[in-house]
Structure 1
Amino acid sequence: MDGLSGQGPAAADRADTAIRAIGLIKDFGDTRAVDGVSLAVPRGTIYGLLGPNGAGKTTTLRMLLGIIDPSSGSRVVLGHDRPIDAAPQIGYLPEERGLYPAMHCREAIAFMGALRGLSLPEGRRRADALLAEHGLGEWARKPIRTLSKGMAQTVQLLGTIVHQPRLIVLDEPFSGLDAINQARLEEMIRTKAREGATVIFSTHVIAHAERLCERIAIIAKGKVAFEGAVDDARAKLRPIVRLRTRNADGPWRSAIPAGTRTSGRDWEFELPESGPEPLLRALIDGGAGIETLAIERPGLHDAFVAIAGDAAAAAMKQEVPQ
């Protein structure tokens, strides 16, 4: 027994995990879009699905939400084996945006809340509060058709959270947003997580995942290449040493690994497995004349390349807005 009403480990797992998927497969005719995706999203975390367009991220999210059924595999969402039963507790922003152009912002947000069970009066009250909270109170009576793409997406995001969902699912939420609206969205995601909501979003922009996510799944060609903590993904690569010396040669050169990138008296290489202390001792005793030395952890981009491969990384780079 585990203390959760005597229901055992399975009950504890459901209590701690907002989403769990095991072996999800989705075939469209002869095409396999998702091939055995398994992942676990702890409650109250920010979780990213990271991969290039066409990797299977959107199809995976739609299966998790019960919008489409998997060809095989299982998923549990907020404790429900049928994701549709959890729908009132979920806020979902699809990749394809859609608002009625003639609606005012307040009415659009209230309408989206009504789809999740709010009364229209309560939805309007919450819409006014959300718009004011984000410094957008003057937008309440603006028709959607008068808004820029970024402004309209902000309204749709507010509609996604107006019913105070426990799980927020965002499909490529940063696509098409300028830097100001991207920063606004990032802060909104952090705020909802601090309030206890679980946020899962898909993206092909590594920087967003690196800044926001505690855990990620890297998806390439319909398969999960990595699933776990961001720090664990980075740990797959050794730290990088960046060194500048006064001297170009000497006994200390034996401490520099083969394949080191060099330019003049600047050196860049992976930290040896023996760690920094033997390296420092060899440089000092050998008379390198250290001017600067920095040991840097690899970024998520480097980890992504190592895990998913150069082709997937190149596809991600091509899709980043300029």
Structure 2
Amino acid sequence: MSHAVMDKRPVAPRPATLAHARLPRWAPAAIAAGSIALGCGLGLVADWHSKVQWGLVSALLFVLITYVATSRVEGKRQAKDRVATSLVWVSFVLAIVPLVSLAWTTAVRGSKALSGDFLGHSMAGLANTDEGGGVYHAIIGTLEQVGIATLISAPIGLLTAVYLVEYGRGKLARAVTFFVDVMTGIPSIVAGLFILSTWVLTFGMGFSGLAGALALAILMMPVVVRSTEEMLKLVPNELREASLALGVPKWRTILKVVLPTAIGGITTGVMLAVARITGETAPVMLLVFGNAFINNDPFNGAQSSLPLFVFEQYRIGTEASYDRAWAAALVLIAFVMILNLVARGIARWKAPKH
């Protein structure tokens, strides 16, 4: 009987994993600070008047220094990864700086005229060059016009999305999808001209808040269709099949299963569409026509709105009108921000619980 001969030679230990040299954690911040300092120094030496040039040069230096430092310490492969990350951060900063600057400028300049009297009074009986006045009539006009546009476009957009997702087949569905895509990119002035040529000139209905709401509804409808369509597609097919297997008709399945499941996303899409049309100026200029007095009836007579009020006051060109324009712009931004926060709150509230 042969016995296996065991090798009693000591097994050499495995080599430890090689530790690659890496830049310290504070390196990106230090490179960013040095790039900003170099960019500002070059701007001062070259006498560049635009701070935008300073920022662009600093961003370029940040990417170049990051690549050089990383390639020397960590290698070219890691340097490419660092450069990609740096480009993402630079793009984020370049995108956020104008937004923060705009919000800050609007808040600083708008707070001069913003007060309770400004929110509670109109421009009735006040010359455009005088100080004082308010934006109450424009707030009423914006709320009524946007509300009517929502009442028109939300049901139509919802039903269109339900048709495209649940029933749409063949040429008709493709045609509807094509026209929705076309309407998504339609300029706002075109929607205003369409309502002007039909509702005002052809039918002779006159300028009113309703005319402006019709144009806003045209702009809002494709946004509602697209957002609702995407939310309905996210509903699992298993829910539909389970309901149909129990003998529930398809229309009732859509009404009781599909729509309640997607209601959070649908509501969020509608709110974002409302925020999108709130700041439209061109259709309002053509159809609402502007009014310095309070008009609570959107179906008769000219009205005002916040975007139109900002345009009119800024066009006057006096110091008082500039203050009113900035204050109205601040109110408009606050209104849109509130709508976005409400949309986020509804999305969190209606999100599926795990």
Question: Same fold by TM (over 0.5)?
Answer: no
Query: Which structure has the bigger radius of gyration?
Result: 2
TM-score for both structures, normalised by structure 2: 0.18
TM-score for both structures, normalised by structure 1: 0.19
Higher helix share: 2
